[in-house]
Amino acid sequence: MGFLDNIRGSHLWALVQKEAREIMRNPYLLFLILVPPTVQLLILGGALDPQVRHLTLATVDHAQTVQSRDLVASLTSSGVFPKNVYLKDENQMLSELERGDLNVGLVIPKNFTQELNRGSQADVQILVDGADAYTAGIARAYVLRNIYQFKPEGVKVSTFEIPSAVRNKVDNDASSSIIDPKMSILYNPDQESSWYFIPGILGACLTLTGTLVASATVLKERESGTMEQLLMTPAASWEILLAKIIPLLTFLVGDVILAIGAAQMIFHMPFRGSIPLFLLASALYAFVGIGMGMLLGSVCKSQRQAQLASFFINIPLILLSGTVVPLDTMPPVMQAISAFDPLRYYTFIARGVILKGATFSMLWQQLGLLALSAILILVVSANRFRSQLV
């Protein structure tokens, strides 16, 4: 009890209470802390999806046979092309592609079935809208795979015009293979993209919120002229600095808890790991965001200037962290630069704890690097902040 009494009677406790009241009285700061992180997490968690679905397929079927309709049915049997639209000719198809109303067009020639029956190679024409390179690549691969594997009744697959490397793989299908593969997808069996993105988006929201709110609190003191009043108090500079950090840290950790709870309710995301370990990592990364915000607040002259500067810092941090773009797909140079990105380590820890139930012994290296990042950024920002109090 004596220790707690000493804390309550200290200058630090009085300053912490003062800072907490300032945040509670400021609707702008309170809104920044509570609303954007949860809303952004829910919106981005539902919107970001690397899987391509609901593409538009149109067909010009000059053959009008059972085999041609079976080929179209094989393409619309999954969620990639939920339905097919039959067009009258190629000119109409080109017009639809030019307007962007069509992703893939399939033209089946009149002699399609006759060529199959003769054992010859039957050609079909595929037109893909390549304006969206990512979607076009997925659509192309899906269409080609289905055509390679299409087996009309009474016709061998080899009669299709398939490259030899692919033909060898297609001919050795499951029915003639001596291996019967049994595949299991761990941790995310339904491959819910929101489960993958939400931990990373949470870190990105902590970055944006911590930076903006911390810089705003520092600059508000300067703009309102209360920084001079702090200099006249008997509190030490480290007490003033901690008083700025502790309330923000408490609000941000509470934000994390609120966001994870909302994600579990809406996206049914599991939480398989240790809650204290996850909160420790979140607190360490919150220190990173607060440190960057205080550094910006000590360098910039106004809140608007700090907001613009924060985007210059935060956007590269988010893009290089593996939050949205997987690290494996980045060039080697970008992967090397991302080693200095603290959000990379927080994203790795959050995904490991939430989805895999990873323990401290599995994540101690990433936790150590995250702690090192937080210490370095806080030391730099603290020195800069102290220079304003001297």
Please give the Cα distance from 284 to 289 (Å, whole number): 9
Taking only Cα atoms into account, the Rg of the chain, rounded to an integer number of angstroms, comes to 29
Q: Rounded mean pLDDT of 300-316?
A: 82
Q: Are 127 and 57 in contact (CB under 8 A)?
A: no
pLDDT of 285 over the 90 cut: yes
Element (H, E) at 106: strand 104-108
Question: What is the layout of strands, in order, in the sheet containing 57-61?
Answer: 84-86, 57-61, 104-108, 125-128
Evaluate if residue 51 carries a pLDDT over 90: no
Which of 159-163, 171-175, 254-258, 312-316 has the largest mean confidence? Answer: 254-258
* Cα 360 to Cα 279: distance, rounded to the nearest angstrom: 12
Task: Grade residue 111 by pLDDT with cuts at 50, 70 and 90.
Answer: confident
Q: Once rounded to an integer, what is the mean pLDDT over residues 308-332?
A: 82
Beta strands in 156-284 (DSSP E): none
When pLDDT is averaged across residues 151-167 and rounded to a whole number, the result is: 50
Mean per-residue pLDDT of the chain: 78
Cα dihedral 124, 129, 132, 134, rounded to 10, equals 0
What residues contact residue 140 under an 8 Å CB cut-off, 6+ apart? 126, 128
Identify the weakest region by mean pLDDT among 161-170, 221-230, 249-258, 310-319: 161-170
Name every residue whose Cβ is closer than 8 Å to that of residue 160 and which is 6 or more positions away in sequence.
Answer: 121, 122, 147, 148, 150
Q: How many residues does the chain have?
A: 390
- In this structure, of 27-41, 78-92, 121-135, the range with the lowest mean pLDDT score is 27-41
Q: What is the mean pLDDT of residues 188-204?
A: 83
Global pTM reads 0.72
Q: What are the structure tokens assigned to 286, written together?
A: 């919150």
DSSP label at residue 58: E
- Top-confidence residue, 13 or 173: 13
Contact in structure between 347 and 203 (CB atoms under 8 Å): yes
Domains of the chain by start residue, with CATH: 10-49+191-389 (no CATH), 57-173 (3.40.1710.10)
Give pLDDT tens digits for 230-248: 555 655 666 777 777 888 8
